[in-house]
Structure 1
Amino acid sequence: MYTEKVIDHFLNPRNVGIIPDADGIGQYGDPSCGDFLRVYIKVKDGRLVDVKFLIQGCPAAIATSSIMTELAIGKTIDEALKITDDDILEAIGVLPEEKTHCSNLGAGALHLAIEDYLENRKDN
């Protein structure tokens, strides 16, 4: 049902955890009914130098969140905002049709974390 890459990212997710002094935090999904993702970002000189996540979800949600962090780290703010659900799906490979919606969590939470970072910068 899942490819080796999906299984690898599910069993060995990259960048799981919290950034205590995160520059931005984004949440996407609904914890009361299933998949829920929280993304933390650290920004230095306009680039995402660290991206971590915590997730409640299925294997596909965990795997797509893991691959999202790999796509985002090192990107400029503008580049990271251009990461789409399709980019995440392309990077992770084939998912069962009923699981493709899981990629929506990663891009959505990442974009919200960046928006949070940009809003926090305006307040300073």
Structure 2
Amino acid sequence: MSELYSAKVLDHVNNPRNVGSLEDADVVVQAGDPNCGDALVFFIKIENDMIRDIKFLIKGCGAAIATSSIATELVMRKTLDEVLTLNDQKIATALDGLPEEKMHCSNMAASALHAAVQQYRSTQAGKTAPIG
């Protein structure tokens, strides 16, 4: 595995950041890749249009763990508009690259974060019922 992945990927696989759940999350969003069996849940606390706290739970391969972990670090204390600029390539770059066949993992994390922002904004606008 180490010959396929950068030292940063391996660090996040072995020591993932922000793992867990948040009881007072403003948004809980699930994502998955049925083709490979990955399942991801982000729990996000938002204050003043900014990510105040984020946790995740995941069932997946090393790349899925690493991309979810680094994604939480990349969006912590960022505005929701900044979160929407995060994409699969930025996540992969933050990990010093991913094998092409694992780029779907970074796409899953970025897509889930974009969905979380959209869900939160819809809830705030009164378009959908809040979670809980």
2:70 partner amino acid: I
Q: Deviating runs (4+, > 4 A) in structure 1? A: 30-33
* Aligned mates of 1:11, 1:33 — CA distance in 2: 20
* Aligned mates of 2:47, 2:23 — CA distance in 1: 15
* Aligned mates of 1:33, 1:107 — CA distance in 2: 17
Cα deviation digits, residues 76-122 of structure 1 (max 9, x gap): 01111111111101101122221122101110111111112112212
Q: Which of 22, 26, 47 is 1:23 aligned to?
A: 26
Which residue number in structure 2 is paired with residue 114 of structure 1?
A: 117
Matched positions, count: 124
Query: Which TM-score applies when normalising by structure 1?
Result: 0.92
* Aligned mates of 2:80, 2:119 — CA distance in 1: 12
* Aligned mates of 2:57, 2:17 — CA distance in 1: 11
Contact 2:64 2:106 in 1 (8 A): yes
Contact 1:26 1:111 in 2 (8 A): no
Q: Percent identity among equivalent residues?
A: 52
* Aligned mates of 2:13, 2:29 — CA distance in 1: 21
Larger Rg: 2
Q: Which of 45, 62, 67 is 2:65 aligned to?
A: 62
Cα RMSD (Å): 1.6
After TM superposition, the structure 1 = structure 2 runs for residues 13-92 of structure 1, keeping only pairs within 5 Å, are 13-30=16-33, 34-92=37-95
Q: Give how far 1:32 is off.
A: 8.5
* Aligned mates of 1:14, 1:33 — CA distance in 2: 23
The structure with the greater share of residues assigned to helix is 1
